[in-house]
Structure 1
Amino acid sequence: MTTMTGWWSRRSTAGKVELYTRWTFHSFVPVEFFALGVLPLTGSKGSPLGPVAATGTALWVLTHAVLCAVLASRALDHTTGRRARPPVRLAVAVGSATAAANVLVLALWTAGVLPDGGVDGSVVSGTTTFTVGAIVLCVDRVRHMLYVVVGAALATAAPVATLGPGPAVAGITAVAIFVGGSGIATACGFSSWLLRVVQELERSRELKARLAVAEERLRFGRDLHDVMGRNLSVIALKSELAVQLARRGREAAVDQMVEVQRIARESQREVREVVRGYREADLAVELEGARGVLGAAGIVCEVTAPALDLPAGVQSALGWVVRETTTNVLRHGDARRCAIALRAEAGGVLLTVENDGAEAAVLAVRDGPAAGAGSGLAGLRERLGAVDGTLDAGPSGPDGFRVTARVPLPRTTAKATNSGTQEERTP
């Protein structure tokens, strides 16, 4: 059973709608042939058309149905984006062939060769109506569809008035074609529009999937930069210190290399966590790490950290701020002092990281294309934006630089934070 239905189940939603729409229009061929070329003739009393006339009419109806199916198929190819719009000459050829056949039928009817007026009228009106449906698929605007319907009604009524039984029947024919043509034009136009919308939704879904992949790649690159930036800076710093100690013959060089080994293993673990996408920065751990790393680099670091009860997302975002700013202090300048302060304020929490060294500040805040978009401070702004936070960075004083991160908190969380604040200072 799966083998028999796989041709359907393996298709996408857009593919199923397209297949259904195409075969709906292809089914017009047998419907038109039996409705206009077989049933009226067999139902006519005594078959007044005669064998030759009946066969000729049936062949014309069949040919017309195939022409309309070809035109509809080309129009659907344009709707689905497989080929350009059907050439105008093809639509004009179908319309001209229908009009010429209608004139011939009316002329034979007037001459008495085709005496059954009911059959003649059904063939003229029916083929014109199916022609309207096929041509409507080739146009996009509703106004143009209306022009097709009105034009078909008038083009068919004119020879009926001149070659047929007169203006009264011509008026009835025009109204019948207008009503029938409006119905089939609405159905065909709606089917084409629905197929186009489904195709666009399918393309939007594919684009969304590609954007999700691109966003994940950006996340991975940003996290890898944030994780490895500070660790590599510390490894380089401690390796340089170990080299200097080893040259002096001091045993402390071994301790420094052991620390390098530990940081390298920690970096491996963090990279694995970044790949899995589970890593979250812990604010308390990052504050303590910043104090230790900056102290090891000979930078006096003062951390003012109250005990705040912050949501996990806010803690993670602020933890990344501490990590990245610490990396910038180590990497971009010759700072001698760094102060990190965390405090609650009205409706939120404020984190500031300030260091001396104006040259280092200018390098740290540079986030344009030369520094790599999507990393550094730009990456921090993205992380803070996820919790509705903001990041400001700029000079502070004659030779200082300050990074300020503000994150709003829900009212209940802000009240609990303000009531439970205990300040701790770690020189």
Structure 2
Amino acid sequence: MRGPVGWWRGKSTPAKVETYTRWSFHSFAVVEGGVFGLSVLRQAGPWPGTWLLLMVCGHALTCAVTAARALDWTRGRRPQPVRLLWTLAGATAVVAVAAVGIAERDPGNDGVVTAAGMVFGGVLIFGAGTIALGVRDRRRVVAIVVGFAVGAGLYAFPLAVPGLTALSTTVMVLSGAGFLAFTSVFSVWLLNAVYELDEARETRTRLAVAEERLRFGRDLHDVMGRNLAVIALKAELAVQLGRRGRPEAVEQMIEVQRLAQESQRELRAVVRGYREADLAAELAGAQGVLAAAGIDCAVTGSPAGLPAPVQSALGWVVREAATNVLRHGDARRCAVSLRVADGRAELSVENDGVREASDGDRPGSGLAGLRERLSELDGTLRAGPAGRGRFRLTAEVPLPPAGTAATRPTIEVTA
């Protein structure tokens, strides 16, 4: 059974930002209902304090529900909670008026008056800040904050409140509500930006795959198009000559056979060039892609001097490892090391941020693809956890003895 740490690691980066944003606004409700409400209860005494506490807790619960629905609307999961926003605005006004009414019933009790004043200003601040979360128009957000602040000041005049006190109340509500409204607007902007960046990264990956497919398709068209056209013409000519009983039909079919064999050789050359990977280019590409994703990637070692088959094999390992780091975890750091010792080239890729739920399936089809591509190399590949929240992939490929031809060895991939 996964604990809180595993639950948190199992989330993607945008989901983590969304969870953090949600609980931040829920914490505002906790502050209002718990810390703020208990302070009111302590100052006002049992009976007035209990009524004030209940009103504050009810208002805080309404703020929490409104914030959750507003964030759902921001992510396009629900319609805009217009009725709930108006309900919160009405509840804020009712609680503020009720708090003033409680203070007026016992004007000689300084504790009750102070507690009621705290409730009056507090619900206006938290109410305006939460309502701003469900409004996209910045002008409306400003109007909401200014309206709550002006309303707080104007309400003080019929009660014969001194002008300085009314002004200070207006400034307090304006600054507090303005800060919470700015926090709401900025949080929504940040949440949307994180999701858009994540979608842009996925789009970039799909475009890169599509571009590679187009390149491969163009290469196949360039290689096979002309040959197939000639083969078709030669075959048609051979059919015509054969129907006439001409001996030249055999020569045309021999030419067709030659063209077909040549096309096979050219096709193998294209596929071989497509499947081979340059290790230096793969290391630089993996470092650049991981850095663009916000992952600190350190590369040590140089592929200089390694035989081409070994570089190609390890290049595919780097490509697969970088893909796994991006797709199957939430890494912050990745270390790639390449060293040559005892006649073997060893490549190690280690990263943190491994999700607990995916430790068992990290190798998956990626290693199956490597097994298919690198079935002709005599090496090993080990992949698995390397401590708490870390994952390590290590590939070893033997080097041909010095002075011998660099024949393509075979590899056995074991996970």
Alpha-carbon displacement from aligned partner over 1:300-353 (angstroms, at most 9, x marks no partner): xxxxxxxxxxxxxxxxxxxxxxxxxxxxxxxxxxxxxxxxxxxxxxxxxxxxxx
- How far has the Cα of 1:212 moved from its partner? 3.2
Match of 1:97 in 2: 91
Give yes or no for contact 2:56–2:95 (8 Å, CA) kept in 1: no
Residue 180 of structure 1 and its aligned partner are, at CA, apart by 1.1
> Does the alignment pair 1:129 with 2:122?
no
CA distance in 1, matches of 2:9, 2:164: 54
Deviation at 1:252, TM superposition (A): 4.5
The alpha-carbon distance between structure 1 residues 272 and 134, as it changes in their structure 2 partners (threshold 3 A), is: farther
1:86 aligns with 2:81: yes
Deviation at 1:217, TM superposition (A): 4.0
- Residues 231 and 263 in structure 1, CA contact (< 8 A), matched pair in contact too: yes
Residue ranges of structure 2 left out of the alignment (5+ in a row): 277-415
Q: CA deviation at 1:64?
A: 0.7
Deviation of 1:171 after TM superposition, in Å, equals 1.2
Asked if the contact 1:109/1:164 (under 8 Å) is kept, the reply is no
**Counterpart amino acid of 1:103?**
V
How far did 1:225 drift? Answer: 3.1
Task: Report the counterpart of residue 261 of structure 1 in structure 2.
Answer: 257
SS in 2 for 1:71: helix
Instruction: Report SS of the residue matched to 1:278.
Output: helix
TM-score, length basis structure 2: 0.60
Shift, 1:65, TM fit: 0.8
Q: CA deviation at 1:24?
A: 0.8
Aligned twin of 1:191: 187
What corresponds to 1:56 in structure 2?
A: 51
Question: Partner of 1:211 in structure 2?
Answer: 207
**Residue equivalent to 1:41:** 41
| Distance in 2, Cα, partners of 1:276 & 1:2 | 45
**Corresponding residue of 1:229:** 225
Q: Equivalent residues in 2 for 1:389-404 (5 A)? A: none
Find out whether 1:107 has 2:101 as its counterpart. Answer: yes
Structure 2 letter corresponding to 1:101: V
The whole-number CA distance in structure 1 between the counterparts of 2:131 and 2:159 is: 26
Cα gap change, 1:85 to 1:223, in 2 (>3 Å): farther
8 Å CA contact 2:48–2:102 kept in 1: the answer is no
**TM-score of the aligned structures, taking structure 1 as reference length:** 0.58
What corresponds to 1:401 in structure 2? none
1:335-414 matches, cutoff 5 A = none
Percent of aligned positions that are identical: 50
Q: Are the structure 2 counterparts of residues 58 and 193 from structure 1 closer, same or farther at C-alpha, using a change threshold of 3 Å? A: same
Q: What letter is aligned with 2:87? A: A
Distance 1:94 1:114, change over 3 A: farther
Contact 2:121 2:172 in 1 (8 A): yes
In structure 1, distance between residues paired with 2:273 and 2:89: 62
Q: Is the 8 A contact 2:40 2:53 kept in 1?
A: no
- Contact 1:235-1:264 within 8 A present in 2 as well: yes
Q: Offset at 1:273? A: 5.4
Whether the aligned pair in 1 keeps the contact of 2:149 and 2:170 (CA below 8 Å) is yes
What letter matches 1:145 in structure 2?
V
Structure 1 pair 94/279, CA: closer, same or farther in 2 (3 Å)? closer
Separation of aligned partners in 2, 1:202 and 1:272 = 37
Pairing partner for 2:163 from 162, 167, 172: 167
Where does the alignment leave 5 or more consecutive residues of structure 1 unmatched? 281-427
User: Following the alignment from structure 1 to structure 2, what is the Cα–Cα distance between the partners of residues 198 and 32?
Assistant: 29
**Taking structure 1 as reference, are residues 36 and 126 closer, same or farther at Cα in structure 2, changes over 3 Å only?**
same
Distance in 2 of aligned mates of 1:139 and 1:275: 55
* Pairwise CA distance, 1:154: 1.2
Q: Determine which structure has more spread, i.e. the larger CA radius of gyration.
A: 1
SS at 1:11 equivalent: coil
Question: Structure 2 residue aligned with 1:278, among 274, 280, 291?
Answer: 274
1:98: Cα distance to partner?
Answer: 0.9
| Equivalent-residue separation in structure 2 for 1:102 and 1:187 (angstroms) | 23
In 2, the alpha carbon distance for the partners of 1:145 and 1:187 equals 12
- CA-atom RMSD, angstroms? 2.7
C-alpha distance 132-199 of structure 1, shift in aligned 2 (>3 A): same
Shift of 1:256: 2.7
CA distance in 2, matches of 1:275, 1:110: 87
CA distance in 1, matches of 2:173, 2:35: 16
Contact 2:33/2:56, CA 8 A, preserved across alignment = yes
- Give the AA of the match of 2:91: A
Residue 9 (structure 2) aligns with: 9
User: Which residue matches 1:19?
Assistant: 19
Alignment partners' CA distance in 2, 1:107 and 1:143: 32
Number of residues of Structure 1 aligned to a counterpart in Structure 2: 274
Is contact 1:99–1:155 with CA below 8 Å preserved after alignment?
Answer: no
Inter-CA distance 2–214: structure 2 relative to 1 (3 Å threshold)? same
Give distance in 2, aligned partners of 1:192 and 1:203.
Answer: 17
What residue is the counterpart of 2:238 in the other structure?
A: 242
Compared with structure 1, are the counterparts of its residues 2 and 100 closer, same or farther at alpha carbon in structure 2 (3 Å cutoff)?
A: closer
Q: Alpha-carbon deviations, 1:86-112, whole Å to 9, x = none?
A: 22x221211111111111111221121
How far apart, in 1, do the equivalents of 2:240 and 2:40 lie?
106
Distance change (3 Å), C-alpha of 1:274 and 1:22: farther
Contact 1:156 1:173 (8 Å CA) reproduced: yes
| Letter of the structure 2 residue corresponding to residue 57 of structure 1 | L
Q: Is the 8 A contact 1:270 1:279 kept in 2?
A: no
Secondary structure, counterpart of 1:191 in structure 2: helix
Partner residue of 1:72?
67
Q: Report SS of the residue matched to 1:226.
A: helix
Instruction: Determine the C-alpha separation between the residues in 2 that align with 1:109 and 1:129.
Output: 19
Counterpart in the other structure of 2:323: none
Instruction: Give the whole-Å Cα distance in 1 for the aligned partners of 2:197 and 2:132.
Output: 23
Which range moved further: 17-26 or 259-268? 259-268
